[in-house]
Amino acid sequence: MQRKNLPTMALRAAAATLLVLGPLAAVAVATEPCDDFGECKTIIEINATDGDIGFHFLMDGDDLLGARIFDPNGTKLFQDRATGPLAEQFLTETFAESAEPLCWDDPEADPDEEIVTLTEFLDRWADGTYLFVGKGEDPGLAFGETDLTHELPAAPQDVDFVAGVISWSAGDDLGNCATSAELDVLVADGDLPIHPQSVAVDSWEVVLEPDVESGDPTGDLKYSIRLPGDVSPMQVTVPADYLASLPDDTPVKVEVGAFGGNDNATFSEADGFCVNEVDGCEE
């Protein structure tokens, strides 16, 4: 659903007033990839297999003592402040993820678990310009702006792993978060700007990792690769040396993510695969 952003200058002035941690000084001016920040980003990430959805953000600035983030309506979403030894050494990069509530009524989930449908999630996280404000030592303020969009890439489908090759195909829905027919309705009602099957995939992320209990050291031996969105065929061969490094009878799972040009991402997972099988992997 389309939102009107508050006037940028008014929002910046309000943010500057709220962020002051000491005497207010001149606002910093720079030409960086994200205004005064080296980087700032807001994205939506969906796990179509598990059926959950979350909001992520990243900001990277120089010598910060604190920072805040505001949504397009001027609502403060996040703040942090360095104190003690951290204030002496300053903040730079900060990355955080929201909790990822279920977007569907999973019959195997705890009945008390929160469900946030796709429609409710999109209403909660407005599309538009998000303002990042950093406070330095001078004292001075740094500003950065980035857009969150509701353009969500469709979930990869037909994820498989056979004879060392991971394969998948382009999808047309968001898995457990929304069927293609449900997405048609959301687009028709104006809740989504574009159907996920029409969102161009900028890149694919492919991950293979041991599907083992927490604490098992083989769980750190992941294989991960990023491929261009136009790769054809949609498959990747996992290096034989990596597979040989895993113990006999290692259960593995595969994850493939579709990334849109705005870095919103939708992931699909598949498991039940066995590497270096001798006696067979335990279920």
Mean pLDDT of 162-190: 97
Is the model's pLDDT at 215 over the cut of 60? no
Mean pLDDT value across residues 12-28: 44
The rounded distance, in Å, linking the Cα atoms of 73 and 76 is: 9
- Please state, rounded to an integer, the average pLDDT across all residues of the chain: 88
Mean pLDDT in residue range 81-93 = 91
Average pLDDT rounded to a whole number, residues 79-103: 92
Q: Which pLDDT value is given to residue 26?
A: 33
d(CA 167, CA 120): 33
Q: What is the pTM of this model?
A: 0.86
pLDDT score recorded for residue 32: 52
Whether residue 1 has pLDDT greater than 90: no
**Res. 24 pLDDT band, cuts 50 70 90:** very low
- DSSP label at 46? E
Compute the average pLDDT of residues 243-272. Answer: 95
- Give me the pLDDT at residue 35, please: 87
Cβ proximity of 250 and 276 under 8 Å:
yes
Q: Which of 172, 167, 163, 147 is nearest to 5 (CA)?
A: 147
What's the confidence (pLDDT) of residue 283? 61
Of 109, 128, 143, 105, residue with least CA distance to 15: 143
How far is the C-alpha of 119 from the C-alpha of 27, rounded, in Å? Answer: 38
CATH 2.60.40.10 residue window(s) in the chain: 157-275
Handedness of CA 6, 7, 8, 10 (dihedral sign): negative
Q: What is the CATH number of domain 157-275?
A: 2.60.40.10
What's 8-148's CATH class? mainly beta
Q: Tell me how far apart the terminal alpha carbons of the chain are, to the nearest angstrom.
A: 44
pLDDT at position 18 over 70: no
**Segment 245-265 mean pLDDT:** 95
Assigned token pair, 188: 């028709």
18 φ, ψ (degrees, to nearest 5): -70, -30
C-alpha 5/C-alpha 225 separation (Å) is 37
